[in-house]
Structure 1
Amino acid sequence: MELGLEGKKALVIASSQGLGRAIAEQLVHEGAHVMITSRSEEKLAKVSASLREIGKGTVASFPCDITKAAEVKALAAHTAKSLGGIDILINNAGGPPAGSFEMLDDDDWIQAFELNLLSYIRMIRAVLPYLKESGGRIINIASSSIKEPIPNLLLSNTFRTGIVGLSKTLSQEFAPYNILVNTVAPGVIATDRIAYLDHVAAERAGISREEIETKRKQTIPLQRYGEPEEFAKVVAFLVSEANTYMTGSSFLVDGGMIKSI
Structure 2
Amino acid sequence: MDLGIRNKTALVFGAGGGLGGAIARALAAEGCFVYAADINAEAAGATASEIKASGGEAEAVAWDLADLPAVESNFAAIEAKRGGVDILVNNTGGPPPTPASGQSPELWAKHFQSMVLSVIAITDRALPGMRQRNWGRIVTSTSSGVVAPIPNLGISNALRLSLVGWSKTLAREVGRDGVTANIVLPGRIATQRIKFLDEQKAARENRSAEDVAAESTASIPVGRYGEPAEYGDAVAFLASARASYITGSVIRVDGGLIASI
1:63-112 CA-partner distances (Å, limit 9, x unpaired): 11111111122222222222232111000111111111344211221112
Match of 1:4 in 2: 4
Contact persistence 1:4–1:242 (CA under 8 A): yes
Match of 1:25 in 2: 25
Task: Tell me how large the CA RMSD over aligned residues is.
Answer: 1.1
Match of 1:86 in 2: 85
Contact persistence 1:80–1:130 (CA under 8 A): no
Residue 51 of structure 2 is aligned to residue 65 of structure 1: no
User: What is the DSSP-based 3-state SS (H/G/I as helix, E as strand, rest coil) of the residue aligned with 2:95?
Assistant: coil
Match of 2:223 in 1: 223
Amino acid of the structure 1 residue aligned with 2:97: A
Q: Return the alpha-carbon distance in structure 2 between the equivalents of residues 234 and 29 of structure 1.
A: 13
Mean Cα displacement is larger for which, 72-81 or 165-174?
72-81
Amino acid of the structure 2 residue aligned with 1:27: L
TM-score, structure 1 length as denominator?
A: 0.96
Amino acid of the structure 1 residue aligned with 2:186: P
Match of 1:170 in 2: 170
Q: Unpaired segments of 5 or more residues in structure 1?
A: none
User: What is the DSSP-based 3-state SS (H/G/I as helix, E as strand, rest coil) of the residue aligned with 1:183?
Assistant: strand
Q: Return the alpha-carbon distance in structure 2 between the equivalents of residues 103 and 219 of structure 1.
A: 30
Amino acid of the structure 2 residue aligned with 1:154: G
Match of 2:179 in 1: 179
Contact persistence 1:143–1:186 (CA under 8 A): yes
Amino acid of the structure 2 residue aligned with 1:151: P
- How much has 1:39 moved relative to structure 2? 1.7
- How much has 1:24 moved relative to structure 2? 0.4
- How much has 1:45 moved relative to structure 2? 2.3
Q: Return the alpha-carbon distance in structure 2 between the equivalents of residues 26 and 101 of structure 1.
A: 35
Q: Return the alpha-carbon distance in structure 1 between the equivalents of residues 234 and 176 of structure 2.
A: 25
Residue 242 of structure 2 is aligned to residue 242 of structure 1: yes
User: What is the DSSP-based 3-state SS (H/G/I as helix, E as strand, rest coil) of the residue aligned with 2:23?
Assistant: helix
User: What is the DSSP-based 3-state SS (H/G/I as helix, E as strand, rest coil) of the residue aligned with 2:76?
Assistant: helix
Contact persistence 1:11–1:79 (CA under 8 A): no
TM-score, structure 2 length as denominator?
A: 0.96
Match of 2:105 in 1: 106
Match of 2:259 in 1: 259
Q: Unpaired segments of 5 or more residues in structure 2?
A: none
Match of 1:120 in 2: 119
User: What is the DSSP-based 3-state SS (H/G/I as helix, E as strand, rest coil) of the residue aligned with 2:243?
Assistant: coil
Match of 1:50 in 2: 50
Match of 1:130 in 2: 129
Over the matched positions of the two proteins, sequence identity in percent amounts to 38
